[in-house]
Structure 1
């Protein structure tokens, strides 16, 4: 699965999050503010998409203010190339918290590759899912 190149604008085909849905019906409406994420996993997928598109404003909006850094500092030399959701616990529409474990793959401008393996925690704030924090594996 290939992700969108960093900062290349709005995808016209499949969503970078790997859901097999079109961006316009998957993460696009979340990033555009048309609707909030219904589940913690949907928020995690949309945040991956925001990273792949370089949408720092969305990442700030969906990060709990208590744990959010002052600046996210996206690395423009990284191209996110794939997302594998390993598991989700809770995080459904009626839950107040949730956990999503994922592995995100990347390629750097020098051709090196890597993987980010994280167990992320999400919570509700004012009725909307937000990223709380994560533990790298």
Structure 2
């Protein structure tokens, strides 16, 4: 296997951080879909970027304590988006759901998180913006 000089892939699986989640995490752009927000939040978890996680968590459900624990040896290994389900049947244009499986290791032990996340799109000073609200666990 030869070493490539191209930028490292984005943690969410995209081509590179700069071409994928980086502009969202840096505040240069807003994710236009709930799936893009979910992917950027996964990348922020992978990179340990607490301020982005706080800023993209809906104020009604945002934890008061730190989201990322410095004492936890956590390594994110991969993301699989199973589906992005906009509920067109109901007249809810500013709510969306994304089902995903994230693989990670805690203190060296492999685990997986299977979640259906709920997102709301609301006005913000930057314009309409998606926020993570909560999730359910299908397993």
> Which band: TM-score by shorter chain?
0.7 to 0.9
What CA distance in whole angstroms lies between the structure 2 residues aligned with 1:54 and 1:119?
22
What CA distance in whole angstroms lies between the structure 2 residues aligned with 1:97 and 1:72?
26
Offset from partner CA, 1:76-127 (integer Å, 9 cap, x none) = 4110000000000128xxx311100000000123x21000010000011211
Is the radius of gyration larger for structure 1 or structure 2? 2
- What's the RMSD between the two structures over aligned residues? 1.4
| Unaligned segments of structure 1, at least 5 residues | 1-11
TM-score by length of 2: 0.82
Aligned counterpart for 1:28 among listed residues 19, 22, 27: 22
Give the paired residue count.
Answer: 121
Q: Quick one: higher RCO (CA 8 Å, sep 6+), 1 or 2?
A: 1
| Unaligned segments of structure 2, at least 5 residues | 1-6, 88-92
Pair 1:85-2:86 in alignment: no
In structure 1, the residue matched to 2:46 is 52
SS at match of 2:51: helix
In structure 2, the residue matched to 1:114 is 111
